[in-house]
Amino acid sequence: LSNIEVTRRTLDLFVVSVLLDAGAGNVWSYHDAANRQSINRSEGLAVASLDMFLAGIFSSDPEDPHRVDAQGLLSLTVDQLSTGLQVSDTNPLVGLEGRCSLLQRLGQTMLDSTMFFPTQNGLPPRPGNLLDYLLSQSSNPAAGGSVDLRHLWAVVIEGLAGIWPPTRTLLNGQSLGDVWVCPSLAGGPEAAARSSPGVDQLVPFHKLSQWLTYSVMEPITLIMGLTFDGVEHLTGLPEYRNGGLFVDLGVLELKTATLNAAGSGPDSVPSFNVDDPAVVEWRALTVILLDKTAEKVRGIFGLTSSQLPLAQILEGGTWKAGREIAQRLRPDTRGPPIAIISDGTVF
């Protein structure tokens, strides 16, 4: 296979894996037959994604199983995904139906966004076809070259806009994805009407979109030699490991009234819907604190943001630390200090 096709297939896998990898809950695990071990949470979902990819569950062509294409995703059923993820009554996965719907919508969205996912040889569009679009925008694709991150962001935020559930925050009738109303910005809870919020009340996170962006840059650079300009404009990821770190360390605390009004999740931690103002504020503060943490870490080691980018601090620092402190404080579930009621399409 050529480097271009190897990269396309890697991107096929990465896009599906990222979209499947919202929080799995505290019970689910995946039995990895090859290594004879059970793996939970993100690692379990990653191995499951790879196994399903290798089995051809996302391809419409049995003769070419190791790829993901629009027709394969559109024909994916909840039962197929449930089997691939080993879901059962005793091994439940949070948001199974939401994950399946997300992948189905990815299939339709690629058919509707052929500018960003240009088809090859009359075949159904694939997530990996985003590479072809980026190469068309590159300064010198034949010799690696570079491309402005805004082109990749356009693929993710515009080309994939159709995958997000229509029940999300709307602005002028347009579903915004991982963008939520923060009533405190408008001074009152009446501002939380999601159907017509003012722009000044909206907080954009795009956690899965940014994670996807971080994820696909790596194989494109390593395999194709194509680099990205403007990576510093990506933010930290406001998800429960990074955010949980700041709660578990006492940097952030829930207000007493908010805590008293919360539901009860696993380990008796407070539980909220994903669009609850407390969760929106928690996630917003997490983004800011990740920037401040990155500045302090770089200062300690005398490194610049180019030498130690935010992505490395997230991967090797805050996310890992958030998981480890959760395991120490809540060994039975290893869950976050605040439980989020989600449909499997946020985090």
Buried b (16+ CB within 10 A) or exposed e, 291-314: eebbeebbeeeeeeeeebbbbebb
Q: Is the pLDDT reported for residue 313 higher than 60?
A: yes
- In this structure, the dihedral spanned by the alpha carbons of residues 95, 101, 102 and 106, taken in order and rounded to 10 degrees, is 160
Look at residue 167 and give its three-state secondary structure: coil
Please name the amino acid found at residue 231: V
Q: Is the pLDDT reported for residue 177 higher than 80?
A: yes
Q: Is the pLDDT reported for residue 267 higher than 80?
A: no
Mean pLDDT of 202-228: 93
pLDDT tens track for 197-210: 578 889 999 998 99
Confidence tier at 141 by pLDDT (50, 70, 90)? low
More confident residue, 42 or 87: 87
Res 332: pLDDT: 86
Confidence tier at 347 by pLDDT (50, 70, 90)? low
Asked if 71 contacts 107 with a C-beta cutoff of 8 angstroms, the reply is yes
- Whole-model pTM? 0.86
Helices (H), the chain: 3-20, 41-54, 70-74, 78-84, 96-112, 130-137, 149-154, 207-224, 240-248, 256-261, 277-301, 310-313, 319-329
Res 246: pLDDT: 98
Mean pLDDT of 6-26: 91
Distance CA 20, CA 16 (A): 6
Res 187: pLDDT: 61
pLDDT tens track for 45-94: 999 999 999 999 999 999 999 999 999 999 999 999 999 999 999 999 98
Res 170: pLDDT: 81
Res 334: pLDDT: 85
Q: Is the pLDDT reported for residue 176 higher than 50?
A: yes
More confident residue, 332 or 147: 147
Mean pLDDT of 175-193: 74
Share of the chain above pLDDT 90, in %: 72
Res 1: pLDDT: 87
Confidence tier at 234 by pLDDT (50, 70, 90)? very high
Mean pLDDT of 28-47: 92
The most confident of the ranges 15-24, 25-34, 148-157, 264-273 is 148-157
Res 143: pLDDT: 62
Q: Is the pLDDT reported for residue 248 higher than 80?
A: yes
Res 191: pLDDT: 47
Res 345: pLDDT: 66
Cα-based distances in Å from 286 to 115, 168, 236, 290: 35, 21, 8, 6
Which residues, listed in sequence order, are joined to residue 318 by a DSSP beta bridge? Answer: none
Asked if 240 contacts 338 with a C-beta cutoff of 8 angstroms, the reply is yes
Res 188: pLDDT: 53
Only one residue has tokens 């300690």, namely 300
Distance CA 144, CA 146 (A): 7
Residues with Cβ within 8 Å of 4's Cβ and at least 6 positions away in sequence, in order, are 131, 132, 135, 224
Q: CA angle 338-344-347, nearest 5°?
A: 50
Mean pLDDT of 283-312: 96
More confident residue, 85 or 170: 85
